[in-house]
Structure formats: C-alpha cells, structure tokens
Structure 1
Amino acid sequence: MDKEQILEWLLKGDVSIQYQVYRDLLGTNRKDLQERIAYEGWGKQFLSKRKPNGNWGDRFYQPKWISTHYTLLDLRNLNLSPTHKLVKESIAQVLKTSKAEDGGIQLGPSTSHHSDVCVNGMFLNYASYFNTPEKELQSIVDSLLNEIMPDGGFNCRTTRSGASHSSLHSTISVLEGLWEFQKAGFTYKKDDISTAIKSAEEFMLIHRLFLSDRTGKIIRKDFLKLAYPSRWKYDILRALDYFQKAERKWDKRMDDAVTMILKKRNKEGTWNVQAAHPGKVHFTMEKAGKPSRWNTLRAIRVLRHFERNKN
C-alpha cells in the first residue's frame, strides 16, 4: 500500500484510531471524533463493563487486565474525552479509598504500607489526563520522586526485593506519568519533576532503549516485540512513542531501536501486533500476528516525528 492507502486503512478503524490519525498524522484535532469514543466501538465497550460501584473487574488492581486500573489506562490511551464524568468519578474513588501510607496507590488491602512505582506512574498518567485536581495527586508525585535510583531511573522492585538497578519497565511508566502531569499544566515540584524526567530519559538512552550498557547485548528479547496494549511492560515502540509525544529531538542512541522498528514493517507498509500479554481481557482489540492499526499508527507517528527532528 502507498501512504494514502495506509491512511485510508487506518481511518477504517475504531473511532479512537481515527481521532489519533487526524490529530497526529493529518494535523487536525477532530474533537467530534474524540467525543464519539465514549459512544462507539472500543470506548463504548470498555465503559459498558463499569460496575455500579464504580469499579471494573473485582477491584482496583484485580484481575489483570480487566481491573479498574488497567481499564482506566486503556481509556486514557484511547484518548477518551478528558472530561468524561464516570471515569473522573472512578478515579476520585480510587484516591479516596486506595491511598497507601507512602502516598501512592495501594494494590490491595494487604499492601497498605507500600505502593508500587509502576502503578503510581500509570495512575499519574491517566489521572492527570482526566483532569484530576492537582492537589489530589501531589502525594503520588512525592512518592515517585522519593524512588529515583542512583542510575536515574526507577524500579518497582525496590520495595519488594531491594533492587539496585533501574528497570526499563518501571522507568517508562513513571516517565509517562510525570510527563502527563506536567502537560496538564500542574506546577507542583515542577523543577524536581523536570530533573527526574531528564535523568529517566537519559537512563533509557544510555541503554539505547534495549541494550545492556555494560555488554551491549539485548537486555530482553521481549523488548523487541510490539505488543499492544502495553500494560506495564516495556518495548521499544512504547519508548519511541513516548519520546515523540514529549517532542524530544533525535538522539543517535535511538538509532538501533528505530532500525528494529523499520525491520518489522510488513511489505504492505503496516506493522503487526506481535504479542499479547497473558491475562483476562474485556475484549480483544486486535489479534496477535495480524496487521495492527495501533502499531501502524504509532510507528508512523514515531518515524515522522524523528524525520522532522533529526537536526
């Protein structure tokens, strides 16, 4: 397919895909499409699973991937309207009932003392996107800033097994959350957050997004699989999509990851969903092993961004 045919194919997808194609590839913010996400397709399906008590699944974090937490993350990634009333109510309920003693969000009744860095990052991401009051999120920001590791990144295992090296999984989730908090216009600990973002980005770049900084070998082969939804897991397309969303300029240390993305392009100009993370789902958006509008959209916007920002 040529470029026009790929765009036509993308625009035949879910309304959430259509909205992001117009916004990111065609330069038009179609608010009418964004408003339709709640009433059509995937957005409607996710919202229909919300229980009268404001939860999805059994509770905040159980079971994966149909819990309140992961459904809210899915809705954020669909770009549901940030003013959606029921979603905002569910987030407010989590903040009221699920704060841990360290200021983050507890995963369940047995984890009241310590929260999880990855989950705090993801929560901050969607809570900021859905315009949660800044004051309600300050303790989560504090909790995250207290978890910066000496190498500049983050690792959720610090509270469980005393990890001494940052994790790309944790770092990308925290980066997305801190960036979304600042994008919302919040100013709480602005300088500290900017410093944390810079150090976490550098941690990822030192690893060339998927390689050991000591041996140069691939850290985990799973980092090269283009899964979607990403959940809490890291992969190179998620990382590059973060950098384009944050409007970062090209860094030569991204080159290996971009080369890998290009190698994964189908001859038709699309990208597949290469894997699905095991767990319960509300429904399947796209089948693994098949051409993916999600991954094609994300790959194209990444490549376009860095073509424009290489100098």
Structure 2
Amino acid sequence: MDVIAWLRDSDPALRWQVERDLAGEPPRVWEATRARIAAEGFGARLLALQDPDGQWAGGAFFPKKHSPEEDGQPWTATTWTLTTLREWGMDPAVLRERRTAELLAENCRWEYDDLPYWDGEVDCCINAWTAGNGVWLGADVSGIAEWFLGHMLPDGGWNCEWVNGSTRSSFHSTLNSLKGLLAYDLATGGTEATRAARRSGEEYLLRRGLFRRLSTGEPVGPWVGRFAYPVRWQYTVLNAAEYFREAALFDGAEPDPRMAEAIELIRAARRPDGTWEQAWRYPGRVWFEVDAPVGEPSKWLTLSGTRVLSWWDALIRV
C-alpha cells in the first residue's frame, strides 16, 4: 500500500499536512492546498455553521440547546469548533475578517459563572484551548498565559481538578496545558516564565516515560495506547508525542531519549499496511464525521503516527 498516496487523497485540512510533513513538497504546493481549507471540504462546512454572533451552536463549551441525558459530550460549541479549525490549519485571516474574536468578546460567556470568553475560566484544558485560539485570532489572552503560571502544581504539571482540592497533576490536564502554552509561545515568542512552565510540564511527563506512574512504574491506564481522532481532550502517547515533536521543532531541540518506550508503543500499533486503526470513538454530538469508523484505518491517525516516527527515527541518537 502506498500510504502517502492514500493520505494525499484527502480533504485539504489533512492533505496539506501530508504534503508538508511527509511528502516534502515545497511551500508553494502545501500552502496552496492549505489555502483551500476555507473554501471547500471540512473547513468550509464548519465556517458555514458559524452563528451571526460569532459563536457555534450558541455556546462557549456546550451548545445552547443540549440535554444532560445526551450520549456523551456535545462537540459542536464554539471552543471545540475553533480548536478544530486552528488545528486543521485554517488561515486565521478568514475568521478575523468575520470579526470573530470581537464578536465572541461581545456575545460569548462561559457556562461557568458567566465569565467573559477571552478571560478563560477555571478549567486547565478549557483555558489551554482558549489561549491557543485567542493568539490565533489576535485576542489578548496574556492573562490566561499568566493564569497557568499561578496554577502549576508542586509536581510540575496541572490538573483541572485543582478546584476540588487536587494537588497531584494529571496526564490529560498537563498535556493540554502544555499545548496551550506552546501555542502562546509560537505566536508571541513567549516569556521566560511561560517557557519555564513548559519545561516543567514536559519534565513531569518525561520522568514518567509519557505513560507510567512515577510511584510504581505501571502504565497509568489502558487509554494511553488507545488512539482516536478527533483527539478531543484525552491523553495518549501519540497525542503527547505530537506535542513533543512540535515543541522540539520550535525550541530547536532533539527528541528526549526518555520517550523511547512510548514511541515503541506507537510503532507497535501500526498495522502491516502502514496505517493506524481508529481504536474507539468519543461519544457525543458532532457537526459531521471527519474520520473512519472504529476498526478501520484512520487517515488522521496515520498522518500523526507516520509524522512522529519519521521525526523520531531521523533524529534520535541511541
């Protein structure tokens, strides 16, 4: 199977990343594909669903109309949709022309305490996505970046359950917090403090080999190797390795050897035909499907897995 050819035959949101990261195409090729995201396919469909007030589904984290009895978290509200468009590579100029950041400042409030949208709230993961989306759209989210500095736990990471008294970091919350800080640093250059916070969170995960308990050495859960797309909020070693790849490219660093065992988990999940399988699906309402059903080869996971292994194998020194 020609995996690269199979991946190229995709929506522009995926194809441009294949061209840039796997096929080695020159910028004029992948930039032209990337520019198509707003005009066709998945990206254009999500843009068409934006409300006149700048939101999606009438809410910040949850749709305006949803029921606690729904099967799973609804994934259609503003924060999830913005994060998806950003991660797909949508040109932020498209949303800036729509005054999206300004409209959200005027019209969007968090379900938690009715707080202003670009001020963030108390959840580490929500604040991470908001920081990333804010710098992407040109909103001032420096306050959220500062918030992370004040909410790091003694062991070096973060936990959304800090509001309930937790003093131990979470793999999920730490990785999402790192992603938000990296997005902030990529867009602004960061500060000495935000870069130090990233180093701390990275060390929290690296000391644990990306998937083991520090106390016993046992895996923290079966979910570390159960890959799914869209990624949403949950931690996996593939999700973490993608972060470390992007951070290393930004920081000019080489892969950390402590990731080796986690990388081999990713390699072991590759099927004989060179693809990665959709292991499960997050329950919950979506605008539309963007990847394969459970048990079938996933183009998004195959892009991610191939990209991580290519980066690691090209640079790691044993």
TM-score, length of structure 2 as denominator length:
0.87
Structure 2 counterpart of 1:149: 153
Code of the residue aligned with 2:262 in structure 1: it is: A
Contact kept in structure 2, 1:16 and 1:37, CA below 8 Å:
yes
Q: Does 1:220 align with 2:221?
A: yes
Structure 2 counterpart of 1:169: 172
- Structure 2 counterpart SS, 1:184: helix
Cα distance, 1:89–1:13 mapped onto 2, change above 3 Å: same
- In the TM superposition, what whole-angstrom CA distance separates every residue of 1:260-310 from its partner, at most 9, and x where no partner exists? 111111111101121211111001111222111111111111111111221
Cα separation, 2, equivalents of 1:176 and 1:167: 14
Contact kept in structure 2, 1:107 and 1:115, CA below 8 Å:
no
Cα distance, 1:87–1:55 mapped onto 2, change above 3 Å: farther
Q: Does 1:68 align with 2:75?
A: no
Code of the residue aligned with 2:297 in structure 1: it is: P
Structure 2 counterpart of 1:121: 128
Code of the residue aligned with 1:306 in structure 2: it is: W
Structure 2 counterpart of 1:285: 290
Cα distance, 1:254–1:87 mapped onto 2, change above 3 Å: farther
Within-5 A mapping of 1:97-108: 106-108=110-112
- In the TM superposition, what whole-angstrom CA distance separates every residue of 1:78-118 from its partner, at most 9, and x where no partner exists? 1111222358633333345557xxxxxx4444568952111
Cα separation, 1, equivalents of 2:112 and 2:100: 16
- In the TM superposition, what whole-angstrom CA distance separates every residue of 1:138-178 from its partner, at most 9, and x where no partner exists? 1111111111111110111101x111101111111111111
Task: Kindly report the root-mean-square deviation, in angstroms, between the aligned alpha carbons of the 2 structures.
Answer: 1.9
Code of the residue aligned with 1:183 in structure 2: it is: L
- Structure 1 counterpart SS, 2:99: helix
Structure 2 counterpart of 1:138: 142
Cα separation, 2, equivalents of 1:54 and 1:252: 44
Cα separation, 2, equivalents of 1:88 and 1:108: 26
Structure 2 residue aligned with 1:15, among 6, 12, 21? 12
Q: Does 1:257 align with 2:262?
A: yes
Cα separation, 2, equivalents of 1:216 and 1:235: 17
Code of the residue aligned with 1:25 in structure 2: it is: L
Structure 2 counterpart of 1:267: 272
1:201 deviates by 0.3
Cα separation, 1, equivalents of 2:170 and 2:105: 26
Cα distance, 1:89–1:170 mapped onto 2, change above 3 Å: farther
Identity of aligned residues (%): 31
- In the TM superposition, what whole-angstrom CA distance separates every residue of 1:7-40 from its partner, at most 9, and x where no partner exists? 1000001111110011111333322111100111
Contact kept in structure 1, 2:55 and 2:104, CA below 8 Å:
no
Structure 1 counterpart of 2:238: 237
Code of the residue aligned with 1:290 in structure 2: it is: E
Cα separation, 1, equivalents of 2:212 and 2:311: 23
Gaps spanning 5+ residues in structure 2: where? 64-73
TM-score, length of structure 1 as denominator length:
0.89
Structure 2 counterpart of 1:207: 208
Code of the residue aligned with 1:294 in structure 2: it is: W
1:233 deviates by 1.4
- In the TM superposition, what whole-angstrom CA distance separates every residue of 1:181-233 from its partner, at most 9, and x where no partner exists? 1111344xx00001000000000111211111111111121121111111121
Contact kept in structure 1, 2:51 and 2:58, CA below 8 Å:
no
Contact kept in structure 2, 1:60 and 1:68, CA below 8 Å:
yes
Cα separation, 2, equivalents of 1:295 and 1:44: 22
- Structure 1 counterpart SS, 2:50: coil
Cα separation, 1, equivalents of 2:136 and 2:273: 34
Cα separation, 2, equivalents of 1:123 and 1:265: 33
Cα separation, 2, equivalents of 1:22 and 1:110: 42
Cα separation, 2, equivalents of 1:20 and 1:195: 29
State the number of aligned residues: 296
Cα distance, 1:297–1:169 mapped onto 2, change above 3 Å: same
